[in-house]
Amino acid sequence: MSRDQKFFDMYSLVIGALIIFALAILVLSMKMSDLTQGIYTRDVAEYQSDLAGRIRPLGQVYRAGEEHASSAPTVETTAEPEPVATAMSGPQVYNAACLACHGAGIGGAPVLGDAVEWAGRIAQGRDLLIEHALQGFSSATGYMPPKGGRLDLSDSEVEAAVDYIIDESK
């Protein structure tokens, strides 16, 4: 065998090995991309819609008059916990909301414990006093704001305060 022939054989062997190696890498890379992205076996339409979703622009421009369903993500909200009812007692409400005026007779408010001043008012009946306390009241002496200006109080809290005032002023 000539040296040229020997070189040629060796050369073909190396080239062949390289081709097999390259093919192996090709097959392996196809297998890998299939495993990780599934682009060879997955439905093309599904893949394209997935892709469109990934490269979707953040915003879209609509002209006036055009109507489009919002593509903004809907925010899931968890139900607000029910506020725990913490009703105040009559005296508590009185101290917090009524004392300011009824403690010293500010603005013509009938003073708590002043039986003479309260007698005529109590004579109107509890229901009317409660109504006046809830809705506000103004006669000769001054102006009583609805719920004493504390609209955050519940009706029953104001009621309890009126009961307290009546009890203390008889």
Q: Return the range that interacts with ligand HEC (CB under 6 A); candidates 6-14, 24-32, 39-47, 145-153.
A: 145-153
Does residue number 137 form part of the binding site for ligand HEC (CB under 6 A)? yes
**Nearer to ligand HEC among residue 91 and residue 142 (C-beta):** 142
Residues 6+ apart with CB under 8 A from 58: none
Does residue number 98 form part of the binding site for ligand HEC (CB under 6 A)? yes
- Within 102-131, which residues bind ligand HEC (CB under 6 A)? 102, 106-110, 121, 124, 128-129
User: How far apart (Å, rounded) are the C-alpha atoms in residues 142 and 137?
Assistant: 8
Burial class (CB in 10 A: 0-12, 13-18, 19+), 161: buried
Dihedral sign (CA 115, 117, 123, 126): negative
Tell me the closest approach of the beta carbon of residue 161 to ligand HEC, in angstroms: 4
The beta strand positions in the chain, using DSSP E, are 137-138, 143-144
Q: What is the dihedral of CA 49, 55, 58, 60, to 10 degrees?
A: -60
Pick one of 47, 88, 103, 145: the residue that binds ligand HEC (CB under 6 A).
Answer: 145
Number of residues that bind ligand HEC (CB under 6 A): 34
Pick one of 132, 146, 163, 168: the residue that binds ligand HEC (CB under 6 A).
Answer: 132
Pick one of 91, 103, 142, 146: the residue that binds ligand HEC (CB under 6 A).
Answer: 142
Tell me the closest approach of the beta carbon of residue 84 to ligand HEC, in angstroms: 22
**Number of other residues whose CB lies within 10 A of the CB of residue 44:** 8
Does residue number 90 form part of the binding site for ligand HEC (CB under 6 A)? no
Does residue number 149 form part of the binding site for ligand HEC (CB under 6 A)? yes
